[in-house]
Structure formats: structure tokens, C-alpha cells
Chains A and B, each alone.
Chain A
């Protein structure tokens, strides 16, 4: 595939080659004519070369102009102007040459005349095709489907007329005129697509008029030149007989003329259009400035600048209230002392009392634009426009615009400033929301860290030896939870196991859980009885927990020599014990009181201590109340009975299977993905 650059070069090369071929064949035919010899080539050959030359130069400019990325209309017109300048310089040079040699013999020579005429042909065609491509770009600016269709019809039709040359004869004069007329009408229709003009500013409009006028002048000069050649000399190839060239020239002329007229009529209103464009751009700046990572001050500066430009105010200031902090002041062409003085005058005006009234209503009602502007009794300024900046019924600032003529602000001005202020407020609000969202995101990250830390508080490895096998499951409703289990090998035979649940959920529960872990590992080393362990834990927690918080726990000491379990229950839901020989799971029945409820030495009296003996295959099933209290859609609890039934039916299985079954049943029961509480299961199977 040839690159675009390659195509451009290739088409230029072919255009030059075709032109050279055209000139050579034409001169050859002429030479043969003069010498009354048979040239051996028909008239169609040079026409073919002419058509190819036109096509290639057209293709060349099409590629070049379309490639130019800028849609700067002045640049495009300048391109046409400069091409025209070169072409006219060439023609002038030829004209000068002819003038100087007007008496010389050379001018009697048809060969020489035709040679120069061919140079003219090349120059004019280059100008026409390049201008045509530029016009195309201008006309198709903001195109629609219909326009594109008409244009394509026009463009391809025009190129098709190149074929006309091959059938040229006197009989076809009416076809010639008809085609010319058709393309003239089409060109006229297309010439009213002048949307680009609206986007020119005042200065650009004047420059466009000048450039277009020069294009008209060139065109006149070129055509005149071609015409005089056609009249004066015997030409082997006369461009004045070419439908394509004439249609093209006509179209370029009409479009340039109409453009000039339309620009001329648009001149007086262009300042209004410029004003509107700048308002839109300012609007965009206001809404985008925050996204670029600028701070709020940037928005305020843009607001002040846009507002002063939009209404041509003489002075302005913007005050931003920052809660208890100092009010921020943005000034435009006014000193602070002047602001103080103007503020005094402002307080006497009707605007101030109106704003005061709205403020006491917390800006519930929409502001009345007519009440925001008033005439001032001030030595420097005669009229004022004051608009408050409001975010969610809270005034964050005030924009004050001043003029030294009375009644300086009309309704349109108030409206545009109002929309500026609204947009600025939206930007500021978005900025605040974004900052909050970022902050929340950071908190979420922190919570994730907390979750990892908390997971690491639970034992990473459980015991699985010849005496018993442990299996645990833990799932938390929030990122962090309040369930806790742990174990500690007190000595060769004794292992302490604890399971606990902190009242409440989330972060506070997680903190208390980590306290519980600290207490467990401190006290467990003392090899205490369950009762004294829980009593000491209760005392310690009395210093740590707030009044409404408590922790429930069960403490078990497993002795693999005696094959016994000694345990106490501190308000925790009673454990299930599965007896292998009876194939039945039952709950322990013993008294107990949650930790942190009674904060005195009398705690021990609320506790029972029990001891049981276990046999091989027995299972101690520990869990937290999240399992029991899990509710289905009808508000029914999973309950103690369901749990004991599952464990009774499956007590003979491996701990992992039992856990799977319980979890499976539980999730089936609640029938939802979201958890209300933390779920913890710790299964110990004795061997």
C-alpha cells in the first residue's frame, strides 16, 4: 500500500508528465500542420493528456488540502491566494515577454505561441483545481447527507465533462451550453453553504473579504488572458472551448462573489457572535477547569474573568466564605479600599436587602434576576449586579460586578452571569464530591488492610494430631468482624480452646476482638481453670469495653490423657456435643454470664464449670450466634434445632464435610448472598 505522502508525490509526477506529453503532442500536431504533413496522431490524444493532467492535478490538491489538519479558514483562503499569486506572476511574465517581443519574428511563430499558451494552461488549471478543492472543504464544513449527495453529483459530473472533449464538434454547441448552464445552477445552489463564515471573527472576516476579492481579480485576469489568446492567435488547444474549465471557473467565481457578499452582511453582527462563542468557551472552561486537577481557586478566577468579559463590567470582585476562616477575595480592576467603600453603598441598595431576605430563607426560592441588579449611589460606580454562589441551599460566596453607567446590566447579562455562577457552583460541588469519594476510597483501602490484619489474628494453623482434629470456618458480614476463636497448647496433654463473639459489628467489634486475643494469650499461659480464666478476663475487659459492649465466650480445656473436657460458658451460645456411641448431638446445659456485663469481683458466681469425658469419634461443635440467628426471608431463624439435627445426622463424617453441610444448609435457608452477621464454626473431632 502506498503511503499518502507517496500518493501525493506520485500524482504530482504524473500531472507534470501528462502536461509535458500534452505539450509535445500538441506542438507535434501543429508542426505537422504547418508543414502540411500527416502527424499520424489524432486530436483525441492531446485531449486525453489534458484530461489526465487535470485529473492528476485535481487528485494532487485533493490529497494535499484534505491532509492539512487545521480547519483554519483563513489558512485555506491564503493557500488559494498564494497559488493565484504564483499563477498570475507566471502569466505576467509571459505577458511581459510578449510585450517586449511584440515586433519580433518569434511572435509570428505559432509553435512558440502555443508553447507559452501551454504554460498558461498548466498555471490556470493548477489554480482552478486547487481552488476547487479548497471551496469543497469550505462548502462541506458541517455537511449533511443531502449536501454531500449534491456535492458528489456536482463533482463527479464536472469530472465527467472531461469526456466531452472527445466528442467535440460544432453540432454539440447546444449540449455545451446546456451543460454549462446545469453546472452553473448546481454551483449556485452549492454556493449558499457558507457556515464557515459564522465562525470567523471580525478581523478574519475582513481578511477573508480581501483574499476572496483577490481571487475574483485573478480569475478575471486569467480568463481575460485566455480569451485574448483565443482571439488573437491560432491555438491548437483552446481552453475557452472546454466545458470543464469554464464550469469550474464559473463556479469558483460565483462562490467567491457570494462569500464576499455574505461576509459583508455578517460584519455588523460578528461581535455578538464572538461574544456568544466566548461565553460558550468560558462555560466550558468553568466546567472543565476542576477536572484538570486544578484547585477551587482556579474555578473562581475563571468565573470572575468570564463574568467581567461577558458583561463588560468596569470592576468586579468575588468573595468566598470559608466557614470560620478568612473570606477569600478575588478582585478585578478594583482595590480593597474601593471594595470597602462600594460595600457601604451596596448595603444601601435594594440588591442587598433582597439578598438578605433570601439568605434568611436559606435560598429556598429561585432568585428573581430583576432584583439582583440596581443602580448605586456611589462616587465611582453607578450600577451593580450581585449574584450569590449557592451550593445546596448554602451560600458559599458572592459575585459583585460594577459599571460606571446607570442601568448597566440588562436581563440577558444577568442570565448569562447566573449561568456562569451556577456552572461554577456545580464545578465546586463536583470537586467536593470527588474529594469525598477519594477519601471514601482511601477508607475502603484502610478497611481492607484492617480485614487482612484481623484475619491474621485468627490462628493460621489448627491442630491435627493423634488425639483430635480441628477444623474452622469464618466469614464476616462486614470487612471486619467481631468473631474470635483460638487455641493454645498449655502442656503436653492440655489444650485450651476459646470461641468468642463481640457484641455489635464492624470496626468497633474488630477492635474488641483483638483485645480479647491479647487477653487470651496473656491468661492462657497461667494454666488457669476455665472459671478463673473467665473471671480474670472479665476483670480485664471491664477496663477495656464501653458500657453497652460485652463479649460472649466459651473456654474449654481439653486433656488428652484424661480424655476430658473442662469448660465454662461466659454468655456464649452453648456448644453442641456429638456422642459417637449414641449418634446424637446435644447442647451443653450450663449457666454463664457474658464478659464485661458485671464489672466487679462477684462475676465468678454467675458461672458454672462442667467436665465431661469424651470417646473416640465424639465431636465438639463450637459456633457463634450468627449461625443460630441467621434469618430467612420470612424472618424465621435458623435456630438451635436445625443445627443440632444436621450435626446429629452427619456426626460420623469428617469435620470438613460436616462444616460444608452446615454452611450449605445455612445458605440454602437464608437464600441470599449478603450476611447479616459473622459466621464462625470450629469443629473438634476426637480420635
Chain B
């Protein structure tokens, strides 16, 4: 089961993803991201993966499909709080080379600024 919460902190939208993201549940993650990407006010997105237990290749496909959108719309997205197992999945596919992935929320906010400047 997937569990998604969207909150906002100092102009930063935070998606907190919990549980398993597989082929069927990845639709919800896709909906959440689409909502933010289509909102022109959103410029910074943090993905909180602290509660994320499992992600399948379909789940990775969701992040992957927005990489281009982020570039064209000038949106910065940083993921943080990934468990070793989840991180490994990102690494194997090579998405760690394309996405910003940091250990904690503090680093994530710094990363957002770094990217900005």
C-alpha cells in the first residue's frame, strides 16, 4: 500500500511517500507529482522517502518521466531519507545520476538552494 502526503513549508512543496510503490500504486505518486508540476507557483519540491519501504521499476518510471518537465519548468526536486535498499534501486538504474538525492531533510533544503544559485 502506498501512502502519500503533500505539505508545504516556506514555499517548498513536500511529498511524503510511505509504504510500497509498485506498478499499481505508482499511479498515486504520479498524480501527486502531476498536481505539483502543473501548478505554476510550485518551484521547489522535496520528496520525503523516510517511510518509503519499496519502490519498483514502475515507481522509478514516475520520477523519470518528470525529469524533462522539471527542466523546462525550472522546478527543482530533491529526494531525501532513502533507505539503503531503496537507494540501491535508484543506483542500479542510474537515476541517482539524474536526480538529487541526499540523506536528510536539512541537506535537502540546502541542496535546493545550491541548485537555485
Contact = CB atoms under 8 A, between A and B. Distances in A.
Contact of A593 (B57, B61, B94): B94
Nearest to A639: B85
A597 interface: yes
Residue with the highest number of chain B CB atoms closer than 10 Å, among A504, A505, A550: A550
B61 A591 contact: no
Interface in B54-81: 56-58, 60-62, 64-65, 67-68
Interface in A626-654: 629, 637
Contacts of B56: 629
A573 B58 contact: no
A550 B98 contact: no
Interface residues of B, number: 18
Contacts of A549: 61
A505 B23 contact: yes
A591 B93 contact: no
Given A597-B98, A598-B98, A574 B57 contact: no
Given A503-B57, A548-B61, A629-B56, A597 B23 contact: no
B101 to A, nearest CB: 14
B23 A606 contact: no
B97 A550 contact: no
A243 B98 CA distance: 113
Contacts of B57: 501, 503-504, 550, 552, 625
B58 A504 contact: yes
Contacts of A397: none
A625 B56 CA distance: 10
Interface residues of A, number: 25
Contacts of A552: 57, 92-93
B102 interface: no
A550 B92 contact: no
Contact of B97 (A548, A593, A599): A593
Contacts of B92: 552, 571-574, 625
A552 B91 CA distance: 12
B95 interface: yes
Nearest to B91: A591
A153 to B, nearest CB: 73
Contacts of B93: 550, 552, 571, 593-594, 597
A534 to B, nearest CB: 11
B7 to A, nearest CB: 26
A606 B97 contact: yes
A504 B68 CA distance: 21
B65 A548 contact: yes
A592 B23 contact: no
B57 to A, nearest CB: 5
A504 B23 contact: yes
Contacts of A625: 57, 92
A565 B98 CA distance: 28
Contacts of B95: 593-594, 597
A512 to B, nearest CB: 12
Given A571-B92, A574-B92, A503 B61 contact: yes
A239 to B, nearest CB: 92
Interface in B25-67: 56-58, 60-62, 64-65, 67
26 contacts: A501-B57, A503-B60, A504-B23, A504-B57, A547-B68, A548-B58, A548-B64, A549-B61, A552-B92, A552-B93, A573-B92, A574-B92, A592-B94, A593-B93, A593-B94, A593-B98, A594-B95, A597-B64, A597-B67, A597-B94, A597-B95, A598-B98, A599-B68, A606-B94, A606-B97, A637-B85
Given A550-B64, A593-B98, 14 more contacts: A503-B58, A503-B60, A504-B58, A505-B23, A552-B92, A573-B92, A591-B94, A593-B93, A593-B97, A594-B95, A597-B93, A598-B67, A599-B68, A629-B56
List the 3 shortest-distance A-B pairs measured between CB atoms, nearest first.
A593-B94, A571-B93, A548-B61
